[in-house]
Chain A
Amino acid sequence: MNIDLPMIFAVLMGISILAYVVLDGYDLGVGMLMPAATPDEQNLMVASIGPFWDANETWLVLGIGLLLVAFPKAHGVVLGELYLPVAVMLIGLMFRGVAFEFRMKALGWHAGLWNWLFWFGSFVASLAQGFMLGRYITGFEPGAGYWLFAFIVGGSVCGGYVLLGATWLILRTEGELQKKAYAWAKWGLLWVALGVALVSIATPLASATVYDKWFDFPRTFGLMILPAASVAAGIWLWRSLRPEVADWKPFAGAVTIYVLAFLGLAYSIFPYFVVDRMTIWDAASHDSALTFMLWGAAIVLPCIAGYTVFSYRVFRGKVREALYK
């Protein structure tokens, strides 16, 4: 039997990236919402993501690890092209990680500084990630227009993370803070709607390859299920942003939008790994290396999934007090 190993690894990498975006997305979003809250609320917000944020970032490590070992040629091209935004993202994540601990210990104006750095790190990392996505979808084309497009995607991703963060807070908090989170989620959703619409219109215009994949009648009619489902999920999410609706529904709605957007993106790019330059099979390592790594993945992935589920079970429910004093 012949197994399509590159395809398996492409799917695994996709799952890692999607898991990263959804999981770290909500904690980056909470970080970006910090300036809108009072100091007591800020402590609760940090407490709501405290047990999870660093485990969430392991999905990024896994995704990049898979990129390096399974698709070394694409790794060279992608991370070479994205060298600077990756450096910017890392610096943002560093400030954020340190601020997590230090904002609790700092006294006087230092506390304000670390709170600001926490917000700043979250924002810079999110913007850099969106920017990378924008550069990636357009196949790293040079030119001011493409760079502008990448910045717009960066802004949209910030909005998307704010939406995830706000719906996460609806799920994990109560009272005044939760009330604020409903309002934040509405702004986040509007922002996302605008961003997704803009990106969905701009991407086929920016890339002929993507255009051909979507506008090929009669296939187009079948494909319209994706945008239609996204709009439906958006409306459902908007209607669930009320205290009468179960607290988990807004977050579930936000995740659904992410999954749909991801599927749309994956469809746009497939079978390419680097648009117009390199397919999944061009970029993949030798089959013998992939077979070896499949065993590694078969051991590591259940472990990560296992402790993820475990930690979310242990720390479920509403947060009522600051994590550490």
Chain B
Amino acid sequence: MLVAAVLAPLQIFVGDLHGLNTLEHQPAKIAAIEGIWKTEKGAPLVLFAVPNEKERRNDYAIEIPKGASLVLKHDAEAEIRGLDEFEPDRPPVAPLFYGFRLMVGIGVGMLLLAWFSAWRLRRAGPLPRMLLWTFAAFTFSGWIATLAGWIVTEVGRQLWLVTGILRTADAVGHISGAELGASLTGYVLTYSLMLLAYFVVITHMAGKGAEQQEALK
């Protein structure tokens, strides 16, 4: 738990560095993540919104004024390039916008949980049941956050495969749709079976751990 309490903020720090690097090399991705449709100075940090791809604006937005400029450029008045500068070579906004918030949300959740538990562990006695159930609920949090981040980074690269040099559409191989469909079905089936097996195993192992605890009492 102590390890998690140290690693979680470290991960967030590395994430910030990564974000700054992406801003430099793939600015369209950042604009989509932040939901910034037009280039502006002192851009707000959009906490939550429903990106409207048709009207090119955010609906129901909750924003912190000048937040994005502060986070991305560490200067409240700095200019952030919006999606309008990259048209039409820009990624779709919704998957990046939601994916990023899911990833960061889970990361913050992990951080709070780790810090609270590390603090709570200093006291004697068993941990409260609620906290143990929260741990159980976080079993797949790392996976989900990683996958969400992966979707952000891969979808965010589009329509380029190598930003500014090679388009994804120009790089696809001469594989037929049927072949792709067959292999994709195969992979999905395989991984579903593996996931099922994994659930069976961890449920079994968790049960075994509980039995040992009971036996110790």
- The residues of A with any CB-CB pair to B shorter than 8 Å are 76, 79-80, 83-84, 87-88, 91, 94-95, 98, 102, 105, 110
Contacts and interface: CB of A to CB of B under 8 A. Distances in A.
Given A76-B173, A102-B197, A102-B201, A84 B183 contact: yes
A87 B187 contact: yes
Contacts of A110: 200
B210 interface: no
A184 B182 CA distance: 35
Interface of B: 173-175, 179, 182-183, 186-187, 190, 194, 197, 200-201
A91 B186 contact: yes
Nearest to B182: A84
Contacts of B174: 80
7 contacts: A83-B173, A83-B175, A83-B179, A87-B182, A94-B194, A95-B190, A98-B194
Most buried by A among B175, B197, B200, B201: B197
A95 B175 CA distance: 25
Given A80-B174, A80-B175, A87 B186 contact: yes
Contacts of A79: 173
A141 B183 CA distance: 22
A87 B197 contact: no
Given A80-B174, A88-B186, A91-B190, A98 B179 contact: no
Contact of A98 (B187, B197, B200): B197
Given A95-B190, A98-B197, 13 more contacts: A79-B173, A80-B173, A80-B174, A83-B179, A87-B183, A87-B186, A87-B187, A91-B186, A91-B190, A94-B194, A102-B197, A102-B201, A110-B200
Contacts of A98: 194, 197
Nearest to A114: B197
A102 to B, nearest CB: 6
Contacts of B187: 87, 91
B121 to A, nearest CB: 30
B145 to A, nearest CB: 24
Contacts of B201: 102, 105
Contacts of B173: 76, 79-80, 83
A295 B23 CA distance: 33
B100 to A, nearest CB: 30
Nearest to B191: A94
A95 B182 CA distance: 18
Nearest to B200: A110
A110 B200 CA distance: 10
Contacts of B194: 94, 98
A87 B182 CA distance: 9
Contacts of A95: 190
Nearest to A99: B197
A105 B197 CA distance: 11
A298 B51 CA distance: 51
A226 B183 CA distance: 39
Contacts of A91: 186-187, 190
Nearest to A90: B187
B185 to A, nearest CB: 10
A84 B197 contact: no
A84 B186 CA distance: 10
Contacts of A80: 173-175
A84 B179 contact: yes
B183 A83 contact: yes
B214 to A, nearest CB: 20
A159 B128 CA distance: 59
